């Protein structure tokens, strides 16, 4: 069975698949509406984004680093949404997070299908905090993060078919 997929860079792919990010910004449109597999692309390891990383990032934000603000926002979302999916609370220690990783085989993996969402519309005027000016806002609903990723999937530009 072929299903449409879209590649999104890690760790943003996990934000989409766990339902924390409800808009994907693209410069292009598609007529397709329906289920999309989320392919996590990129080779960065984000498996260590946990609560005890907050103080250092907060210090750098106070020094005026906008990139650290984005990192801190991702950390907060991972702690409240993604890690909660695996039963790990907001104030979890690194050890508790690592235990959850071991128990569930959870890492912010790349090169695999990690979940799915439903593409319901594409607009220019979404009020989501994830919307970026000048982009097409892909409105996403019904996100599902898979308990076990589908490994060894090569991503592509634009939408592509995946045979599962």
Question: Virtual CA dihedral for 3, 104, 47, 53, nearest 10 degrees?
Answer: 130
For the chain, residues classed under CATH 2.30.130.30 are 1-45+108-164
CA distance 108 to 57: 20
Distances (CA, A) of 108 to 14, 144, 152: 7, 15, 14
Question: How much is the pLDDT for 141?
Answer: 97
Q: State the CB neighbour count (10 A cutoff) for residue 139.
A: 18
Under DSSP, the state recorded for 29 is -
Q: Provide Rg for the chain, Cα atoms.
A: 16
Question: How much is the pLDDT for 47?
Answer: 46
pLDDT, tens digit, 9 for 90 and up, residues 12-71: 888 788 787 889 999 999 999 999 999 988 765 454 444 444 445 445 545 555 555 555
Question: How much is the pLDDT for 110?
Answer: 77
Cis status, amide bond into 11, omega within 30 of 0: yes
- CATH topology (fold) of 1-45+108-164: 2.30.130
Question: How much is the pLDDT for 54?
Answer: 45
Of 149 and 55, the structure prediction assigns the larger pLDDT to 149
Question: How much is the pLDDT for 103?
Answer: 65
Question: How much is the pLDDT for 51?
Answer: 42
Chain CA centroid to CA 47, Å: 13
pLDDT, tens digit, 9 for 90 and up, residues 80-138: 555 666 666 555 666 766 676 666 555 567 788 989 999 999 999 998 878 889 999 99
């Amino acid at each position: 069975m072929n299903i449409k997929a879209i590649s999104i860079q890690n760790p943003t792919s996990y934000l989409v698949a766990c339902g924390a990010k409800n808009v994907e910004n693209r410069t292009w449109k598609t007529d397709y509406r329906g289920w999309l597999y989320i392919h996590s692309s990129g080779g960065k390891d984000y498996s260590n984004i946990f609560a005890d990383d907050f103080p250092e990032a907060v210090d750098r934000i106070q020094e005026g680093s906008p990139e650290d603000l984005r990192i801190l926002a991702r950390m907060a979302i991972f702690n409240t949404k993604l890690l909660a999916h695996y039963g790990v609370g907001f104030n979890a220690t690194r050890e508790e997070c690592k235990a959850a990783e071991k128990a569930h085989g959870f890492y912010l993996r790349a090169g695999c299908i990690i979940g799915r969402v439903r593409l319901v519309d594409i607009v220019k005027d979404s009020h989501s905090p994830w919307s970026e000016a000048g982009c097409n806002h892909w409105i996403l609903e019904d996100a599902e993060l898979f308990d076990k990723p589908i490994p060894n999937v090569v991503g592509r530009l634009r939408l592509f078919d995946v045979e599962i």
